Structure 1
C-alpha cells in the first residue's frame, strides 16, 4: 500500500481544518445534573460534620416544672380589614351634654321649684351621674349649679334638680331656655 499524504493544518484538507461547523459544542449541565451535584455536596457535608462532631451529640431538653401539660397559646392575629363593614360608625357611645340633658320639665311642681327654691328641673340620661349633669348644664346654659339632686321616676327616667348659685335667677334662665 502506498503511503498517505499528510494534510497540513490550516490548509483546505478534510481533517484538521478549523472551520466553525467542525468545533464540538459543550452542552451546559442540565437541571437534573445540578440538583444531583448539590445533593451530593450536602450529603458530603453532613458526613464531614458527623465525623468531626460525632452523631451522638447531646441536645438540651426543656425542663418541665409542672405535671400538668398546658398547650401553648394559639396566636390570633388582630383584624386588619380592607374596608369597613358598616358604612357609618356608631355615635351612641358619645356621652356629651346633649345626650346627658334630655329636656327641662315644665310641670306645675317644677315651676314651683323654679320660683321658690331657685332650682331648675331636667329629665336626664339614666346613666349620667351628678358631676356629669352639673358639667352638662354648665356647658349648655352657662350657669353654675350649687348642687344637683337626682331621683329615678317610676317610669324609669332620671330627674335632676339643679339648684343654682345665688348669683343666677332661675326665673330668668327658665325664660332664656324657653320653659316659661
Structure 2
C-alpha cells in the first residue's frame, strides 16, 4: 500500500497532459493483438465457389506451326484428268463440251476457275455429277 501511493501521483501528472495520454492509448491500441487483423468474412451461402483466377494471354516463345499450311486443293488437284470415253468424245464434237474427272471436294466455282487457269478457256457453265471414281 505504501508503494502504490507514488504510482498514483505519477498517474495524476499524466492525466494533466491529454496529448501524452492520447499517444499512450494509441500506442497500446496499435501494439494490441487485434490491430491490423482482417475482419472475418461473413459467409452467406453454404456452397463454396472458388474465385476466378487471372487468365493471362498467350505469349509464345516460338511459333507452333513452322510454315503456313499448303493449299491442298489447287487447280492441279481439282482437275484430275479429262474423260476419254466414246460418249465424252461425242460431247466434245457435238456439244462443244469438255468432260473432266475432278476432285470430290471441288465446287462449281473452283472447277470453273481451274479450267480458266489451266487451259485458258472461259467456261460458260459447269455441270457436276458425283460418280464412282
Range of TM-score over shorter length: 0.5 to 0.7
Q: Is 1:139 paired with 2:117?
A: yes
Provide the C-alpha distance between the structure 2 equivalents of 1:133 and 1:68, rounded to a whole number of angstroms: 60
Q: Is 1:51 paired with 2:30?
A: yes
TM-score, length basis structure 2: 0.55
- Higher fraction of strand: 1
- Higher fraction of helix: 2
Secondary structure of the residue aligned to 1:109 is helix
- Number of equivalences: 101
2:101 to 123, 136, 141: 123
The CA deviation string for residues 56-84 of structure 1, in whole angstroms up to 9 with x for no partner, is 3448x7x999x684775887967656998
Name which one, 1 or 2, has greater alpha-carbon Rg: 1
Q: Identify if the C-alpha distance between structure 1 residues 72 and 142 changes in structure 2 by more than 3 Å, giving closer, same or farther.
A: same
Q: Identify if the C-alpha distance between structure 1 residues 83 and 126 changes in structure 2 by more than 3 Å, giving closer, same or farther.
A: closer
* Structure 1 spans left out of the alignment, 5+ residues: 1-47, 158-180
Q: How far is the alpha carbon of 1:152 from its aligned partner?
A: 1.1
TM-score, length basis structure 1: 0.42
* RMSD between aligned residues: 4.1
